[in-house]
Amino acid sequence: MSFEQSRLRSDMIGTQVITRATGRRLGVVSQLWVDIDRCEVVALGLRDNILSKVVSGPEQIMMLSSIRQIGDVILVDDDTVIEDDISLATYSNLVKSEVITESGEGLGRVRGFKFDVVSGKLQSLVIASMGLPQIPDQVISSYELPVEEIVSTGPDRIIVFEGSEEKLKQISVGLLERLGLGAAPWEREDDGYIMPTSASNQLPSGIKQPAPQARREVAPPQRLELEQPTRQPIEQPVPEEEPYQAKPLNIPQKKKVMEYEEEDF
């Protein structure tokens, strides 16, 4: 193969694939599929029409190794390069994947990448505030980050080393930045809390890390209770009961009536 080996994803999308044997048009490149574990482009997706997935029908897959020449078109040997039994379940297109540092600082989203056409190895990621390749470079600022900065990868997230923003190279200046209204995602002031990112479910970086120290459990502070002196109950004097005195009865007394004797005259 005699062509420039380093290509951007955007250079490949929309390129026609033609067979050298018969000159038959197999379709146009609509997607690049990446083995995220090896950071390597392995296959190309082809459609009849790049403008509409509905109109163009199902996607056909061909391996990157089937390419024989690249120019204005991509040349392959014949139509047998189309693979019918390949599964894309383990591959990713990397587009819109979030890029963050180990401390959780967001650098943007993937809108493209540069790779070696012969080996398929990724060389750098193209990052912007939005991972939409359809947005022109004149509208949105984009940056290039070497793949050596990648710590681990996942289906929708790429974790890079702390301080990787210093390794970014700006490749386009967006309209908002030219007007002084925009800034890079990591340069924006944000008062919100950034949660540290855990890479426990992603691939390790291969760098030996010191064993974490055991966390010492600290007992919660106890509330001191002052001992109160015991007080004896105060006995209240019981009032003495007075003897019961009955009220005098008002009984009418019997009066004595004088009797007179009759005298004889």
Report how far residue 212's alpha carbon sits from residue 214's, in angstroms, rounded to the nearest whole number.
6
pLDDT (0 to 100) of residue 31: 94
pLDDT at 17 over 90: yes
Which long-range contacts link 158-161 to residues 24+ away (Cβ below 8 Å)? 158/94, 158/97, 158/98, 158/99, 158/100, 158/110, 158/125, 159/100, 159/101, 159/102, 159/197, 159/199, 159/202, 160/99, 160/100, 160/101, 160/102, 160/107, 161/101, 161/102
The DSSP code for 241 is: P
Instruction: Residue 65: count other Cβ atoms within 10 Å of its Cβ.
Output: 12
Q: Please tell me whether the overall predicted TM-score, pTM, comes out greater than 0.75 for this model.
A: no
The string of pLDDT tens digits covering residues 140-195 is: 889 999 999 999 988 789 999 999 999 999 998 887 777 766 666 666 555 444 44
Contact 165/145 with Cβ under 8 angstroms? no
Structure tokens at 100: 């963050």
Instruction: Residue 47: count other Cβ atoms within 10 Å of its Cβ.
Output: 19
Report how far residue 125's alpha carbon sits from residue 121's, in angstroms, rounded to the nearest whole number.
12
The string of pLDDT tens digits covering residues 127-149 is: 998 888 888 878 888 999 999 99
Contact 108/114 with Cβ under 8 angstroms? no
Residue 253 confidence class, pLDDT cut points 50, 70, 90: low
Question: 60 has which bridge partners?
Answer: 46
Range 223-236 average pLDDT: 58
pLDDT at 207 over 50: no
Share of the chain above pLDDT 90, in %: 48
- Ramachandran quadrant class, 139 (left: phi over 0; alpha: psi -120 to 50; beta: rest): alpha
Report how far residue 99's alpha carbon sits from residue 97's, in angstroms, rounded to the nearest whole number.
6
Place of tokens 């004889």: 264
Mean pLDDT of the chain: 79
